[in-house]
Structure 1
């Protein structure tokens, strides 16, 4: 099988190539069709000059030569005007037929023209042209006295013409099929690039949201601690030093988280190390950070805990982080904050409130913090509400179903 394959190479059109350079020649001809047609006409021109002229009157030979040259030269325009070239070839072939037997250049030229019509002309016009040519062959051949011999010649000539036409149609269909494959490959490549851009945009949005949560929370904590340091610097140097150390630790933690997120952008492969995402267990650290600013904060869990996916734990952590950040930034003179997480399989409910005077967190509700919380919880078919609570202060509640996220 391998020996046969090497002896009879096949081109992309399904045609057997008789020599190794056939595929390169076909590719070159496809890129330079006009030049290839001119070279074909030039290659057949010597046949027109050495055609059989026995039995032809000497005075008619110049006409015979001129007609043969015109017949072959018409092939130089075969792809641009396929139907016109076929009509001209048939007309010149009839003129040559008046001088005697049909000459080889005549047969070759007409068959090439028929092939070109099948490969390049519009389907309906091509069928009409070939049918007209078969009629011309019938009228020309069947006028002889020997009907059986004339019929055999007609059948043979018609079969050759139809074979050339079918070959041209086949090449055309294969060319169209290859073009459709190329177009499909290009569209698939464009869609792949578009999907990659969409995924990259989603990743950028996720990283921007993470950066917002990290920077907003840690800066709020650092500002509150710095205010405490400034207040206690003269009266209580020991507590001021402790608060300054908390500012430093919070800043380092913020830098570490930012480096982790920015490292995702720099990674070229999946084998790069990944730091663990914060989850429910790290809420203790958030609460402790808020306590160091001087705001008493409680953190309780009720219900029977059940496993959450890393994405769900990250969402719960970020909601608590954003809610506590809003307390530090916008609550007016709060004396306490409370964080409650309730498990009720398959639902997780979260509640963060404070007792600050007035509706201090209203400003945050109009910003990116609340919209970010809603986006995170919306992944799990959840919802977030924020507003003043009875008796004063502000309350943020979130409800999500971790098992409902298709991409979690």
Structure 2
């Protein structure tokens, strides 16, 4: 704690005395909110006893304009100003109207009982809870009898009118201050609740986005590698009878592909399971890994040709963009392996074209249409995943059969983020 009341982090800390007072006030407010009728009853009882004691002791005569007034009338006036306080919170305007005739009798008769100041408690509740125009009306109800009494006793107008005027102004301002602080506190609490709700919603959206990303990565990894393994297994089974050496090569390639798939899955799941400091930080695939990807596809029995056109930008694409291109090419070739028809002349081509503002990747094959296995309008899970990846960087993906045979996937990806 520093000399200016802040801790080392710069946070303002209340003094011990202020802290005790705040805790005491919080307990009082909490008790009042739990049992408001009890507090109203205690306050009303205290005021009634004060009024009765004032009458029985004769203290009212020290400030009365006419000390010869009947004590019974003084007791009635005192009770009329104190007993209705039981309803000061639920019906403050009605209570003040009820007191108005007695206030007029009080000053007209010259009794001037001190219990008349209890009207200010009602005024405080009006200032705290009701609109300001109601407070202005309450001022007229309280001050009008005093003006009439001052006209009846002009020599005592300073005693009759001025103290009540000061009391009304002070209590009104006090009520407005408390009301402003209460509304400000409620606004802060509401804002904190909305921020907490927004934080929870953002966390849920982030979790959904992360689950979608993980599902997309697992679909690409598992789908591609299983397709390669399936192609190798089919080729190995065909070659086993005629060429055992090629069957052994196919088995070796299956083992290599399986280990690669397991390594990628372990890395992906390790990010979820391990703390950030211990998670595997192996880099994600980039455009430099396309040759390795195509080599695996060729091993599975699909001839693939890669062509690069145009001039790559001086500044390399971001890691996210390179991963997007890699995954789209991977998914396109996986679809060819799964749905290309499996005929002996099946082949694919990947063309990367660098433009001035965008990179275009086109994956085509000459497979035969298979409507039972592939969504005819390109709305399968893999196509959806490719479009979601491309949309992250304002890119687009088109998929379909432009000539009725074969399959084409076209990715257009801006080289830089758009100003929007």
TM-score, normalization by structure 2: 0.82
- Preserved contact between residue 103 and residue 145 of structure 2 (Cα < 8 Å): no
Distance, in Å, in 2 between the alignment partners of 1:114 and 1:10 is 30
Moved more, 195-204 or 219-228: 195-204
What aligned pairs does 1:329-408 form with structure 2 within 5 A after superposition?
Answer: 329-332=338-341, 333=343, 334-356=345-367, 358-360=368-370, 363-364=374-375, 365-388=378-401, 393-404=406-417
SS at match of 2:161: helix
| 1:228 equivalent in alignment to 2:235 | yes
Distance, in Å, in 1 between the alignment partners of 2:49 and 2:34 is 26
**Partner of 2:193 in structure 1?**
186
Moved more, 77-86 or 97-106: 97-106
What is the CA deviation profile of residues 219-258 of structure 1, one whole-angstrom value per residue up to 9, with x for unaligned ones?
1111111112222233322221221222222222222222
Q: Cα offset for 1:42?
A: 2.3
Change (3 A) 1:388 1:110: closer
Q: 1:155 aligns with which of 147, 153, 162?
A: 162
Distance, in Å, in 2 between the alignment partners of 1:255 and 1:272 is 16
Unmatched 5+ residue regions in structure 2?
6-13
CA RMSD of aligned residues (A): 3.3
Q: 1:40 aligns with which of 38, 43, 65?
A: 43
Distance, in Å, in 2 between the alignment partners of 1:370 and 1:34 is 67
Distance, in Å, in 1 between the alignment partners of 2:143 and 2:107 is 16
> Deviation above 6 Å: which 4+ runs of structure 1?
55-59
Distance, in Å, in 1 between the alignment partners of 2:15 and 2:226 is 72
Distance, in Å, in 2 between the alignment partners of 1:158 and 1:243 is 103
SS at match of 2:308: strand
Unmatched 5+ residue regions in structure 1?
12-16
SS at match of 1:349: strand
- Preserved contact between residue 89 and residue 113 of structure 1 (Cα < 8 Å): no
**Partner of 2:144 in structure 1?**
135
- Preserved contact between residue 320 and residue 339 of structure 1 (Cα < 8 Å): yes
**Partner of 1:312 in structure 2?**
321
**Partner of 1:14 in structure 2?**
none
Distance, in Å, in 1 between the alignment partners of 2:244 and 2:164 is 113
**Partner of 2:337 in structure 1?**
328
Q: 2:85 aligns with which of 65, 69, 75?
A: 75
What is the CA deviation profile of residues 174-216 of structure 1, one whole-angstrom value per residue up to 9, with x for unaligned ones?
2122212211221122122222222222222222222221121
Give the aligned length.
396
Change (3 A) 1:286 1:155: same
